[in-house]
Amino acid sequence: MKTLTIREAREGLSHPEQMFADGDEVLVVRRGEPVARILPPPQKRKVRSLAAFRATMPLQEVPSEILIREDRDARG
């Protein structure tokens, strides 16, 4: 964890890519007391492809037109 004073944080915020390049937590202190904690962003989750998702879905055994007709008939 990196510790910065308020002054160092103000000066460093003009170039945040340099200040936060290591991706570590930064603690900002004023007169030795912590006033802020800057955390790295959470890791991005890897998203499955649509094809992989569809492969896990079971196939429908009854055709949809039959299901729709049964539902309409049941309503009256």
Hunting for tokens 């004023």 — which residue is that? 30
Average pLDDT of span 53-59: 91
pTM above threshold 0.75? no
Q: What is the pLDDT of residue 30?
A: 92
- Residues 63 and 65: their CA atoms lie apart, in Å, by 6
Amino acid at 64: S
Question: Predicted confidence band at 25 (pLDDT cuts at 50, 70, 90)?
Answer: confident
E strand intervals along the chain: 2-5, 26-30, 33-38
Hunting for tokens 């900002």 — which residue is that? 28
Q: What is the CATH number of domain 2-38?
A: 3.40.1620
The mean pLDDT value of the chain amounts to 87
The DSSP 8-state label assigned to residue 13 in this structure reads T
